[in-house]
Structure 1
Amino acid sequence: MVSANYGKVETKRAILNILARVIEKYKFTSLPELTAALNRYNVAADRGNEESRTFKKGGLYNRMLNAKGERVGVPIKASDFHQKLTLNYLQNRFKINDQLRQTDKLRVKKAIDFTLYGKTNVTLDRLINILKREGIDTVLRKNESRLIYEITYVDHRSKAVFNGSSFGKIIVQKPFRNAV
């Protein structure tokens, strides 16, 4: 699957192709998990801020991202697509995917545990690189102060996506050094 490149491809068609493929293939149970899978292809799903009309009416936008992960171009309403990949549709998909991905959870948890277990010098960069070799992308969500508040794991082999919180608490003896 090719990633969307703003200005080089027709935006709506590129977003729809990526959305349809990711929604069909990946098992995610929330909008942040879907967006983590979409980010690899320079696309994001976005509800807007809590005060926006779109958010209040249960709407959803899809938009392209540049190489730095920044929003570019005009967002496209999910309801504008012929396939109607709306928030309501996705919420039904979340329930289905919750059951489908249970068998994949152990693979991701074992990869994380193996990387961290008994080691005292694991940096966040090292964790990300080791997991990447296992086919698992690590997507960091940061607040305005650039502090990490959530880690999402996208397993491209099993096509399952998990927020870090779905594994319970991960106890790290020492804080990560050299955080991204």
Structure 2
Amino acid sequence: MVAKISIGSSLYGALAYNGEKMNKEQGRVLGANKIILPADGQIDIARMVENFNDFMPKTGKTKKPVLHISLNPHPDDRLSEQQYEILAREYLDKLGFGEQPYIIYKHMDIDRHHIHIVTVNVNEQGKRLNQDFLFRRSKRITTGLEEKYNLHKAQREKITPDMPIRKVDPSGDIKRQVANTVKMVGMRYMFQTIGEYNAILSLYNIRCEQTDGRVNGREYHGLVYFATDDDGKTIATPFKASRLGKFASRTAIDSRFEKAKDKIEVAPTKRNVDDVLANAADKSDFIAKLKVRNIDVVFRYTDEGRIYGVTFIDHGTMTVLNGSRLGKEFSANAINDRFNNPAKVPVNNPDNITPIVVPPLEQMPEDTTSYSQSPTDTEQHTQSSGGQHQSTIAQSVSDFGDYDLLIPGLDLFQPGQSFNPDEEEFRRRMQRKKKGPRHRF
């Protein structure tokens, strides 16, 4: 059995938290001491706070008089509500809080039912109860209760480097699963943004959101974690990072962002993705071939189905990289065009040769309408080859007069300087200056 003790200042907050479980039919009151419980079971939190205050001094120096304790038997210990209550009362007696006002709740929000206790650590005379070695004493008490009632002994799950990370199982202890996954992901993988962090978490049905705000004039910046199903829908009450551990906090994750910047090597992942992308028939083939190389890819889509985000998770190098970090050709826009708009993908042209496109005669400028190809020209064009063919094209262009580069790509064969639109505009301005301003009458 594991006991967790939180010491705080808000009695109302602790009672409201448990009251919320009752409102959702995920909790019920098992018993109380010095607290009046209504016969109809309808708990009035304000009235309950008054009951507690009757046994507390009106003034005092204790800033954090509230204890919120949870007792968590092993999942294999199936206990009745009466047995839960007996454990709670005996635990409080041995801890030295048996005569304090308290209330005992049973929570059923997860498969492993457990107990919550709200009490205070100040007596009626205003004296604070003994809290020396409180957590150490609590551990000895729970160990004794396990032996007395033949309960399963609590064993802290050790996280080892080779321990596999699994998706959240809705039928298990969701909070513990989320905490373990967040810890293992942070220990093993390198990422540099909240988006990359969420990409790796999403593989295990977890989502993280940043929370920024102001409470009592003070700014706060935190993280909240959500357990989801395979479709990304939330399946449990979200957990503040503080409930999971320091490793899940905003400070800890921001620190991992900074450390990863100097450690991540992009080249190995880029080589693998580039090779797969060049040979992938479609998106499904792309995903499958990446998996063979121990790389997962996470896509993010708009409502219209366009890919607006792509992140590669390389389990070989333990790195998480947004596509744009690998290069422009691996960005979300490029990947979307590659698989959703193949017509926009440029044709492979290793020699970078500009194709020659001859426009129809009706699209020629007015000063070229006199151009026509004589039979002699046709015969010369048909019989020529190599350099002769190039000279024929150049001669044809010269027939167009002052018109520069009418046909894109012909500058490859034309001697002299190529067409420069800035210089052309400057030349025209100078010509207008020579003619002088036009006067309108």
TM-score (norm 1): 0.83
What does residue 300 of structure 2 align with?
141
Give the Å deviation of 1:93.
Answer: 0.8
| 1:109-148 paired onto structure 2 within 5 Å | 109-117=270-278, 119=279, 122-148=281-307
Name the SS for the 2:186 alignment partner: helix
Please give the root-mean-square deviation of Cα atoms over the aligned residues, in Å.
Answer: 2.3
Q: C-alpha distance in 1, partners of 2:169/2:257? A: 28
Q: Determine whether 1:3 maps to 2:167.
A: yes
Query: What is the SS of the residue equivalent to 2:221?
Result: coil
2:221 aligns to what? 58
2:312 and 2:290 mapped to 1: Cα distance? 9
- Report what 2:243 is aligned to: 80
Q: Does the 8 A contact of 2:183 with 2:247 survive in 1?
A: no
Per mean C-alpha deviation after superposition, the further-off stretch among 133-142 and 57-66 is 57-66
Cα shift at 1:61: 0.7
Asked if 1:108 is matched to 2:108, the reply is no
* Cα 1:72/1:176, change in 2 over 3 Å: same
1:77 & 1:84 partners in 2: Cα distance?
12
Partners of 1:84 and 1:95 lie apart in 2 by 15
Which residue matches 2:4?
A: none
Which residue, 320, 331, 344 being the options, matches 1:161? 320
- Is the CA contact (8 Å cut-off) linking 2:199 and 2:298 kept in structure 1? yes
Closer/same/farther in 2, CA of residues 84 and 175 from structure 1, 3 Å limit: closer
Overall identity of the aligned pairs, in %: 26
> Paired residue for 1:20?
183
Task: Give the counterpart letter for 2:255 in structure 1.
Answer: N
Asked which structure has the greater CA Rg, the reply is 2
Among 196, 204, 221, the alignment partner of 1:41 is 204
2:329 pairs with 1:170: yes
Counterpart secondary structure, 1:60: strand
Q: Is the 8 A contact 2:246 2:252 kept in 1?
A: no
Spell out, residue by residue over 1:42-94, the C-alpha distance to the aligned partner (whole angstroms, 9 max, x if none).
111122xxxxxx33342211111112232221110112223352122211110
What whole-Å deviation, never above 9, does each CA across 1:122-165 have from its counterpart, x for those lacking one?
31221111111100000001234332101000011111100001
Do the aligned partners of 1:123 and 1:177 also contact (CA within 8 Å) in 2?
no
Determine the structure 1 residue equivalent to 2:408: none
- List alignment gaps of at least 5 residues for structure 1: 48-53
Change over 3 Å in CA distance of 1:113–1:93 after alignment to 2: same
**AA at the equivalent of 2:189:** Y
Judge conservation of contact 2:179–2:245 (CA < 8 Å) in 1.
Answer: no
Distance 1:155 1:43 in 2: 18
| Whole-angstrom distance in 1 between the partners of 2:340 and 2:309 | 17
Q: Tell me, yes or no, if the aligned pair for 1:5 and 1:42 is still in contact at 8 Å.
A: no
Alpha carbons 2:302, 2:308 under 8 Å: kept: yes
Measure, in 2, the Cα distance between the counterparts of 1:175 and 1:3. 31
Of the structure 1 ranges 136-145 and 159-168, higher mean CA displacement relative to structure 2 is found in 136-145
Identify if the C-alpha distance between structure 1 residues 75 and 122 changes in structure 2 by more than 3 Å, giving closer, same or farther: same
Equivalent residue number for residue 50 of structure 1: none
> Residue 246 of structure 2 aligns to a residue in which SS?
coil
Distance (whole Å) between structure 1 residues aligned to residue 327 and residue 234 of structure 2: 31
CA contact under 8 A between 1:138 and 1:154: conserved in structure 2?
Answer: yes
Task: Give the aligned residue type for 1:122.
Answer: A
- The aligned amino acid for 1:4 is V
Distance 1:177 1:147, change over 3 A: closer
